Amino acid sequence: MSERPDLHLRIAAQREQRAALGRTRVRRTVIRRDGMRCEVLDPDGGASRWLLNFCSNDYLGLSRQFAVVNALQDAAAREGAGSTASHLVCGHHAVHDALEHELADWIGAPRALLFGSGFLANLAVVQALLGDDDLCVQDRLNHASLVDAARLAGCRLRRYPHADADGALRQLRGNPDGAALLATDGVFSMDGDIAPLRELALAAHAQRALLYVDDAHGVGVVGPDGRGSVAAARLPGAAPLQLVTLGKALGGYGAAVLGDADVIDHLAQTARPYVYTTALPPAQAAASLAAVKLARREGWRRDRLLAQVAQFRRLAARAGLELLPSDTPIQPLLCGGDAEAMAMAAALEAQGFWVAAIRPPTVSEGRARLRVTLSALHAPEDIEALVDALARAAARVGIASGKTPAFTSQGAANPGHETRPQP
Q: What is the reported pLDDT for 20?
A: 87
β-strand partners of 156: 135
Structural fold of domain 30-59+299-397: Aspartate Aminotransferase, domain 1 (3.90.1150)
Q: What is the reported pLDDT for 26?
A: 87
Preceding peptide of 43 cis, ω within 30°: no
Q: What angle do CA 186, 190, 195 make, to 5 degrees?
A: 25
Q: pLDDT tens digit string along 217-257?
A: 999 999 999 999 999 999 977 778 999 999 999 999 999 99
Given the residues 83, 117, 145, 189, select the one marked as catalytic: 189
Contacts of 299 (CB under 8 A, 6+ apart): 225, 226
Asked if residues 124 and 273 have their Cβ atoms less than 8 Å apart, the reply is yes
Is residue 217 annotated as a catalytic residue, yes or no?
yes
The side-by-side arrangement of strands in the sheet containing 49-53 is 30-34, 37-40, 49-53, 353-354
Q: What is the reported pLDDT for 252?
A: 97
Q: Is 118 annotated as a binding residue?
A: yes
β-strand partners of 157: 136, 419
Widest Cα–Cα separation across the chain: 68
Q: How far apart are CA 30 and CA 345, in angstroms?
A: 17
Q: Is 143 annotated as a binding residue?
A: yes
Asked if residues 369 and 340 have their Cβ atoms less than 8 Å apart, the reply is no
Q: What is the reported pLDDT for 304?
A: 97
Continuous segment of H or E residues that includes residue 10: helix 7-21
Q: Is 362 annotated as a binding residue?
A: yes
Q: Helix (H, G, I), strand (E, B), or coil: what is residue 404?
A: coil
Start-to-end Cα distance in the chain = 21
Is residue 293 annotated as a catalytic residue, yes or no?
no
Q: How far apart are CA 202 and CA 320, in angstroms?
A: 39
β-strand partners of 333: 323, 370
Cite the DSSP H helix spans in 365-419. Answer: 380-397
Asked if residues 28 and 41 have their Cβ atoms less than 8 Å apart, the reply is yes
**Ramachandran assignment for 232, one of left (phi > 0), alpha (psi -120 to 50 degrees), beta (any other):** alpha
Q: Is 119 annotated as a binding residue?
A: yes
Q: How far apart are CA 217 and CA 254, in angstroms?
A: 13
Residue 245 amino acid letter: T
Given the residues 162, 248, 375, 378, select the one marked as catalytic: 248
Continuous segment of H or E residues that includes residue 71: helix 66-79
Cite the DSSP H helix spans in 84-187. Answer: 94-107, 118-129, 144-153, 165-173
Please list the pLDDT of the chain residue by residue as tens digits (423 residues): 678 999 999 999 999 998 888 888 888 999 999 999 999 999 888 889 999 999 999 999 999 999 999 999 999 999 999 999 999 999 999 999 999 999 999 999 999 999 999 999 999 999 999 999 999 999 999 999 999 999 999 999 999 999 999 999 999 998 778 999 999 999 999 999 999 999 999 999 999 999 999 999 999 999 999 999 999 999 977 778 999 999 999 999 999 999 999 999 999 999 999 999 999 999 999 999 999 999 999 999 999 999 999 999 999 999 999 999 999 999 999 998 899 999 999 999 999 999 999 999 889 888 999 999 999 999 999 999 999 999 999 998 887 544 444 333 333 333 334 444 333
Is residue 364 annotated as a catalytic residue, yes or no?
no
Domain spans of the chain, in order of start: 30-59+299-397, 66-297
Q: Is 404 annotated as a binding residue?
A: no
Q: What is the reported pLDDT for 1?
A: 67
Phi and psi at residue 130, to the nearest 5°: -120, 150
Question: How far, in Å, are 103, 220, 258, 384 from residue 112 at the CA level?
Answer: 7, 16, 4, 40
Q: pLDDT tens digit string along 187-204?
A: 999 999 999 999 999 999
The CATH architecture of the domain made up of 66-297 is 3-Layer(aba) Sandwich (3.40)
Asked if residues 258 and 240 have their Cβ atoms less than 8 Å apart, the reply is no
Q: What is the reported pLDDT for 336?
A: 83
Q: Is 25 annotated as a binding residue?
A: yes
Given the residues 87, 96, 217, 378, select the one marked as catalytic: 217
Whole-model pTM: value is 0.91
Q: How far apart are CA 137 and CA 419, in angstroms?
A: 11
